[in-house]
């Protein structure tokens, strides 16, 4: 039997970590009500608590970037996957808000290299053309973790409770650990001379502030936040409370959204190769997503579209169609990674991708907390509208900074 010698198998093994990350961080979408009940939290308090995940993720980006460039993808990924499995165990055993807060912080750290590991490996092992293709494959395969946190985990939560969902996610982290240990052999980049860690930290922050990356950092601030906010937290409660679906029915709709998030990156890659103009595609897609969120709210109870059609609320099929379109269009965010890779030399790839990921998850932490405050004021519609406003502001800021670059 011929032995695979190319980079594809190690990349897919590393991408299992991204599958795990997407599954565990979107689990609250189908378990928010029972999590709130068992932990004694209001929905807005749960949003603030689970916001610790992206906050810890963003803070871990600096050491992750250093680790990827200094010690290599293999060792960095193995350490982080072990931490992620530990976070699942802490979550499953937690008996109150503090335990879940600790778990979310540990999970954020453990998942912080889930996307950057395979992206950095691919960037070092492939030319620019193949990297553009594989960045879409990595994102698409990784997003399949959201398939697991839709109907399958909804059924598991309904059957065995939310703790079983965290145990299942921990098993997935263990599987990813074994896959990476068995396949990844890429050595760390050759380093000339000794560099203190503080210089690596300064370089990541310097890279993040360069004119060419500054605009990408701005749009990234809202880009992943909206995926985590809509698919990972508020989408399930919206479907259950505003549209009266059961947990499993809501999970089925979220399953369709996850399918769109799996297919979307490949579609975005095809459109980008056909059309070109990545800047226009990035800004236009994010503005369109803001419009889709507002359209979703317009079809809810008391929404202007529902009232215009003389209905208390539009049927669930409308929500499903809007959410699937959301998953397809927001997937154009993958164009950020190719833009970041092109902006730096290969030896800085890990730092540059990590710097951009700091903005992805830092924005998710800030906006998720803001959505919790908004929910306390105006309910789930206000929470979802928070992400629409952020998308508009960050997209316009991205275009303005690109003009001046």
C-alpha span between 14 and 108 (Å, rounded): 17
Provide the mean pLDDT of the chain. 85
Out of 2-6, 108-112, 310-314, 329-333, pick the least confident.
2-6
Statement: residue 353 has pLDDT above 50: yes
Average pLDDT over residues 19-44: 82
pLDDT > 70: what percent of the chain?
92
Statement: residue 15 has pLDDT above 80: yes
The pLDDT value given to residue 102: 93
Q: Which of the listed ranges 63-72, 151-160, 240-249, 344-353 does the model predict with the highest average pLDDT?
A: 240-249
pLDDT > 90: what percent of the chain?
33
Give CA separation, 307 vs 291, 313, 318, 355, in Å. Answer: 18, 8, 15, 45
Contact criterion met (CB below 8 Å) for 152 and 26 = no
The pLDDT value given to residue 192: 52
Out of 84-88, 156-160, 293-297, pick the least confident.
156-160
Phi, psi of 381 (to 5 degrees): -55, -40
The pLDDT value given to residue 336: 85
Q: What's the domain range around 127? A: 8-183+199-404
Give 17 or 269, the one with higher predicted confidence. Answer: 17
The secondary element (H helix, E strand) that includes residue 101 is helix 97-110
C-alpha span between 220 and 398 (Å, rounded): 9
Count of CB atoms situated within 10 Å of the CB of 13: 23
The number of folded domains in the chain is 1
Structure tokens at 226: 């909206």
The pLDDT value given to residue 226: 92
Out of 82-91, 102-111, 123-132, pick the least confident.
123-132
Q: Is residue 1 part of a domain?
A: no
Characterize 304-317 residue by residue with b for buried, 16 or more Cβ atoms within 10 angstroms of its Cβ, and e for exposed: ebbeeeeeebbebe
Contact criterion met (CB below 8 Å) for 320 and 256 = yes
Out of 143-147, 182-186, 294-298, 372-376, pick the least confident.
143-147
Q: Is residue 177 part of a domain?
A: yes
Statement: residue 331 has pLDDT above 50: yes
Statement: residue 346 has pLDDT above 70: no
| Per-residue confidence band for 191, with pLDDT thresholds at 50, 70 and 90 | low
Q: What is the pLDDT of residues 135-146, one digit of tens each?
A: 778 878 887 777
Average pLDDT over residues 312-325: 94
Q: Is residue 192 part of a domain?
A: no
The pLDDT value given to residue 187: 67
Give 66 or 94, the one with higher predicted confidence. Answer: 94
Q: Which of the listed ranges 97-111, 125-139, 201-215, 226-240 does the model predict with the highest average pLDDT?
A: 97-111
What's the CATH code of the domain at 382?
1.20.1250.20
| Per-residue confidence band for 283, with pLDDT thresholds at 50, 70 and 90 | very high
The pLDDT value given to residue 328: 93
Q: Is residue 368 part of a domain?
A: yes
Q: Is residue 143 part of a domain?
A: yes
Average pLDDT over residues 214-223: 90
Q: Is residue 254 part of a domain?
A: yes
Q: What is the pLDDT of residues 257-279, one digit of tens each?
A: 888 988 888 888 788 888 878 88
Q: Is residue 121 part of a domain?
A: yes
Q: Is residue 375 part of a domain?
A: yes
Q: What is the pLDDT of residues 361-370, one digit of tens each?
A: 788 888 988 9
Considering Cα of 134, then 6, then 19, then 156, what sign does the dihedral take? positive
| 156 closest CA partner among 254, 30, 40, 26 | 30
Average pLDDT over residues 230-242: 85
Contact criterion met (CB below 8 Å) for 13 and 188 = no
């Amino acid at each position: 039997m011929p032995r695979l010698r190319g980079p594809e198998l190690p990349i897919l093994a590393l991408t299992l970590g991204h599958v795990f990350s997407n599954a565990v961080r979107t689990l609250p979408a189908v378990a928010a009500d029972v999590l709130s009940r068992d932990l004694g939290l209001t929905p807005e308090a749960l949003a603030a608590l689970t916001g610790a995940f992206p906050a810890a993720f963003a803070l871990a980006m600096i050491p992750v970037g250093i680790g990827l460039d200094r010690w290599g993808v293999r060792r960095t990924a193995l350490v982080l996957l072990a931490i992620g499995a530990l976070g699942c165990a802490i979550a499953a055993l937690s008996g109150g808000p503090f335990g879940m807060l600790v778990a979310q912080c540990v999970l954020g750290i453990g998942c912080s290299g889930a996307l950057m590991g395979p992206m950095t490996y691919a960037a070092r092992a492939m030319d620019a053309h193949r990297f553009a293709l594989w960045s879409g494959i990595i994102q698409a395969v990784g997003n399949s973790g959201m398939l697991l946190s839709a109907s399958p985990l909804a059924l598991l939560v309904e059957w065995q409770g939310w703790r079983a969902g965290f145990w299942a996610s921990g098993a997935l982290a263990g599987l990813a650990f074994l896959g990476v240990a068995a396949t990844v052999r890429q050595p760390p980049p050759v380093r000339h001379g000794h560099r203190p860690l503080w210089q690596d930290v300064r370089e990541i922050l310097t890279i993040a502030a360069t004119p060419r990356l500054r605009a990408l950092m701005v749009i990234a601030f809202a880009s992943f936040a909206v995926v985590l906010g809509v698919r990972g937290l508020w989408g399930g409660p919206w479907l259950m409370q505003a549209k009266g679906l059961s947990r499993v029915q809501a999970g089925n709709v979220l399953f369709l959204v996850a399918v769109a998030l799996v297919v979307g990156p490949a579609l975005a890659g095809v459109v980008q190769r056909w059309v070109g103009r990545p800047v226009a595609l990035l800004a236009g897609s994010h503005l369109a997503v803001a419009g889709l969120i507002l359209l979703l709210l317009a079809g809810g109870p008391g929404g202007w579209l529902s009232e215009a059609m003389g209905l208390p609320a539009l049927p669930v099929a409308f929500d499903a169609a809007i959410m699937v379109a959301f998953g397809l269009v927001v997937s154009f965010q993958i164009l950020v990674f190719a833009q970041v890779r092109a902006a730096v030399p290969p030896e800085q790839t890990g730092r540059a991708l990590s710097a951009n990921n700091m903005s992805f998850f830092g924005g998710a932490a800030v906006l998720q907390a803001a959505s919790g405050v908004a929910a306390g004021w105006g309910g789930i519609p206000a929470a979802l509208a928070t992400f629409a406003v952020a998308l508009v502001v960050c997209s316009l800021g991205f275009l303005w900074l690109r003009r001046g670059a």
